[in-house]
Amino acid sequence: MIFRKEVINLLITDNYIKFALVDERSLAVRKIGEVKLKNGIIVQGKIMDETLLIKILGTIFRKYKLKTPFVKLMVPDQNLIIKKMRVPKYLKGEDLKKYLRLELEESLQSLPFKDPIIDVIDYQVFNDEDDKDIIIFTTSKEIMVSYLKVIQKHRKNVIDSYLSPLMTRKLYLYSKRLRNNDQRFTMFTQIRENTHILTVFDNEIPILSLRDTFEVDDYDEDFYIEQILDVLERICHFFQYQFTKNKEQVEKIVIYTDIRFNKDLQSLIKEKIDIEVEFIGDLPFKTSISTFDLMRYYLPISMSL
């Protein structure tokens, strides 16, 4: 892995842009910032007002004096699909990707976008069968190109892109000083202001990922926590009784959130679901920025870990 002196890590959602300027040689966080977006600029991860988004990014780069040309980008979660599929064992490489495109086009599992970017990893290979289970990662090529275009307008280059479920796990490993975790079926969960992203990993492989999005008009912590408890319980139930046919269950829940709760959310989850729960927090980054402020930017920072 090549570490550049400074990189701008961008997390762009329908509602806001967050950035972290990181010196990757020392893993020092130099600057952080957030700009709220008006409704309609980005909808479901798709850029609707390219001109305005270009202006907003330009303002951010100038205001915070982000001069480095290197940018890392988080893939929009709305357009990311992580899915387990069973395919013929003999298929590999480009032949496998061609097969997947055809299968997704012709089946009820068709993608919500055309010309997908597809990546694949093997999950389970069965010695006595002709098929194998794979994990497919796919997103929209058209949408990704649109983000590259608006960033390149400012003479900056996207040198890498990342998936937020994988970054949540990476934050946890970094917090524990681990290269890997040996616990199967851990659910890494992001709790954002209007989105929950829940991904069950079998060790390092994400095997089930679901996103729960909702609108928050008048924020009420008690009601919001009820929604969190409900979605965690539903996904744990779905994983055990439908996804694994009652063969496995979620063994641990790891949560990252950029929201400060007054109530003890960890205790409430344990009481409701009776599963070990752990929160990611207070990571030892080199910075002069307060921990309270920095925690809200762990996801963009994670792209430099």
Determine the Cα–Cα distance for residues 145 and 73; give it in Å rounded to an integer: 12
Last residue of a domain, one of 163, 195, 230: 163
Task: Find the mean pLDDT for residues 196-223.
Answer: 88
Are residues 153 and 106 located together in one domain of the fold? no
Looking at residue 150, what is its pLDDT?
98
Are residues 175 and 256 located together in one domain of the fold? yes
Are residues 86 and 175 located together in one domain of the fold? no
Query: In this predicted model, what pLDDT tens digit does every residue of 263-304 receive, in sequence order?
Result: 999 999 999 998 999 999 888 888 988 877 899 999 999 999
Pairing of strands 7-12, 70-74: parallel
| Residue 208, domain CATH | 3.30.420.40
Are residues 187 and 115 located together in one domain of the fold? no
Are residues 112 and 146 located together in one domain of the fold? no
- Does the pLDDT value for residue 173 go beyond 80? yes
Are residues 19 and 156 located together in one domain of the fold? yes
| Model confidence band, residue 216 (pLDDT cutoffs 50, 70, 90) | low
Are residues 173 and 285 located together in one domain of the fold? yes
Contact 124, 153 (CB under 8 A): no
Are residues 204 and 176 located together in one domain of the fold? yes
* Domain coverage including residue 110: 79-140
Looking at residue 182, what is its pLDDT?
75
Pairing of strands 252-257, 276-279: parallel
Are residues 23 and 148 located together in one domain of the fold? yes
Position 151 in a domain: yes
Are residues 118 and 266 located together in one domain of the fold? no
The sheet carrying 16-23 orders its strands as 28-36, 16-23, 7-12, 70-74, 157-162
Position 2 in a domain: no
Determine the Cα–Cα distance for residues 112 and 38; give it in Å rounded to an integer: 24
Looking at residue 214, what is its pLDDT?
72
Q: At what angle do helices 221-238 and 265-273 cross, to 10 degrees?
A: 40
The overall average pLDDT reported for the chain is 91
Pairing of strands 116-125, 131-140: antiparallel
Q: What are phi and psi of 63, to 5 degrees?
A: -60, -45
Tally of structural domains, the chain: 3
Chain CA centroid to CA 143, Å: 16
Position 228 in a domain: yes
